[in-house]
Homo-oligomer: A and B are copies of this chain.
Amino acid sequence: MTEKKFSVCFEPGHRVINGQKGDSLLDLAIIAGTGLCASCGGEGVCGRCRIKLIEGELECEDHLQISAEEFAQGIRLACQSRLVSNVTVEILAESRFDTAISGDAISCTLQSRPESVKNKPVLPLRKVFLKLVPPSGADNSSDLGRLKRFLKPFCPTEPDIDYHLLSSLSETLREKNWKITVSLLETPNGVKIINIQPGDQTLTTYAFAFDIGTTGVRGQLLEVTKSQVLAQATEYNGQIPFGEDVISRINYAAREGGLNQLQQAVVNTLNNLGQAMLSECGLEASDIAFATIAANTTITQLLYGLDPKHLRLAPYVPLASELPLIPARHINLSICPQAYIYTLPCVASYVGGDIVAGVISTNIPHREGLVLYIDIGTNGEIVVGNKDFMLTASCSAGPAFEGGGIKNGMLAKPGAIEDIELEPQSFEPKLSVMGSGNPKGICGAGLINTVSALLNCGLLGQNGKYNTHIKTGRLRKGADGYEYVLAFGREFGQGQDITLSEVDIDNLIRAKAAMYAGYQTLLENAEANFKNLEKVIIAGTFGAKLNIKKAINIGLLPELPEEHFIFVGNGSLAGARLCAFDKNAQTEASAAAKMMTNVELSESVSFMDNYMAAMFLPHTKSTDFPEVYAALGKFNGGRI
């Protein structure tokens, strides 16, 4: 039986394509070559792939980025719309790419922006294709003079040139008979020529966006003229052997040669991720024209070899909240040697570019309603605010959400157990594993979901200790006390069992307690509470799909109706990607960082109280989690 086929007509341009029931309108639009843009790669976060339904029907849920009035007018996000009938849709003007401002000389992309952002979008790197008239006896001006002369119509102010380009300039100009592509970087101090390539290279511009976490590092390979994500990759931060958290790495950096080792380690991680993505797409390192990076303040300073000592000495001063553009060659990042790296600005010593990236990727500086933004990771970062103010704080949750400090923990990659169902009588598990292979470990989401399931079936007490009265072959005493066996090695033809011990659970409880106390305290500082929130936006890299109910069940998230939550995945990486697609996003990041006020949780008495109260499953205050308490009472007979 074949799936039913439907036709889609994209206007303007009247491009018609056939698809199957359930196909994403974004995918179809890309295949049809309509030039529809989706900066977030189809994750429903950026709100840029706006279409209008003209004829037919689409399966489409209500979405934060579309107002009720717009929805009634037929406005939809293409990435959130699925094919269920023959349709005609219009790609809205602000969501279309336009090419060629002036002939084919400039490849310029107009991207859509949320309505609240009024600036016209600008690619961070502008490419201009030029056909120079070759020199002759009558006109033997210098190579550089000739280049600047022909560049003048596209660059009215005299551009600076990176002196590294001079040594290959003469050969590059002559390689394709004086046809060249010039890459222009707009800097605060004018335009700079950062690359010159033979022939016409304006059709594609590749970039890397990286989110460098303390524990995990994620990268994406982007094609920025069409706002596409071509590949992505995840790996542990190579700095982990030098210390699990930022404080221990700052200490390590103080050793002889330590700073250099830490820098090398994280650059190696980036280069490994980069190589994997390049291989996947059949590209070379020299094809990557620039990179954007979001990371916390310590990791950012370590990446650039900048001593982080003062980050942990009062009064806790970062080296720079906004770093200048750094040439890739300066840190041996394996991309085009002429390329520059843009770094998301930071707010304070412990509130970095990663959280600023999250803030702009979820558009908090333009929201009316109060939102709580939570980035769950080794450093939990929290923002409370809207267009009027933003308070921010960070709390050291530890690496549990990224699989760190957990015996069988791992990053959210193929092989990670991300969900579990427990048979209530036998306590036998049914595992959901990322990818198609055997389970190799537990990722952050798997950890949350497993603890929730163990708690619900009564095998685990609210204090995080196993109920050893219950007899099952899955519960046993191991080296770290009692442990539950999620997978026996023999079941999957591998040596090691995958287990979850009380020590592992204790690490998770500390982590979730720090997060919960963090946002509780920050809300107190904003003189607000959970009930004032329009939305709770959850970012993190702990697994593809966070199960909100189960996260509430263990007390990681507050007990609010499920529709209050939005899970956006990796908000930091989304912000870095946005800054690669649009220079205006860089300006927004700069403005957002200046608008954010840091609250030092470590100096708050209230935080410590909130933390101690949260060291329980879900929480010691049953009135804050009435439904969880009610449900637990049903399963474990009220034993606490």
Chain A positions near chain B (C-beta within 8 angstroms): 135-137, 140-145, 157-161, 163-164, 166-167, 169-171, 187-192, 304-307, 309-310, 314-327, 330, 346, 348-349
Contacts and interface: CB of A to CB of B under 8 A. Distances in A.
Contact of A140 (B164, B320, B348): B348
14 contacts: A140-B348, A141-B317, A143-B317, A144-B319, A145-B320, A145-B321, A145-B322, A160-B188, A160-B324, A166-B304, A169-B320, A170-B307, A170-B317, A170-B319
A495 to B, nearest CB: 46
A142 B144 CA distance: 39
Contacts of A306: 166-167, 170
A310 B323 CA distance: 40
B315 A167 contact: no
Contacts of A324: 160-161, 163, 166
B166 A323 contact: yes
Contacts of A137: 314-315
Contacts of A317: 135, 140-143, 170
Contacts of A143: 310, 317-320
A275 to B, nearest CB: 25
Nearest to A326: B163
B170 A135 contact: no
A192 B322 CA distance: 16
Contacts of A142: 317-321, 346
A191 B137 CA distance: 38
Nearest to A189: B190
A639 to B, nearest CB: 47
Nearest to A161: B324
A141 B307 CA distance: 17
Nearest to A134: B315
Contacts of A349: 140
Contact of A320 (B166, B305, B318): B166
Contact of A305 (B141, B167, B326): B167
Contact of A315 (B140, B187, B326): B140
A594 to B, nearest CB: 10
A319 B166 contact: yes
Contacts of A188: 158, 160, 190
A53 B167 CA distance: 55
A596 to B, nearest CB: 13
A351 to B, nearest CB: 12
Find the residue from A187, A305, A307 having the highest chain B CB count within 10 A. Answer: A307
A139 to B, nearest CB: 8
A523 B124 CA distance: 53
A240 to B, nearest CB: 24
A314 B134 CA distance: 12
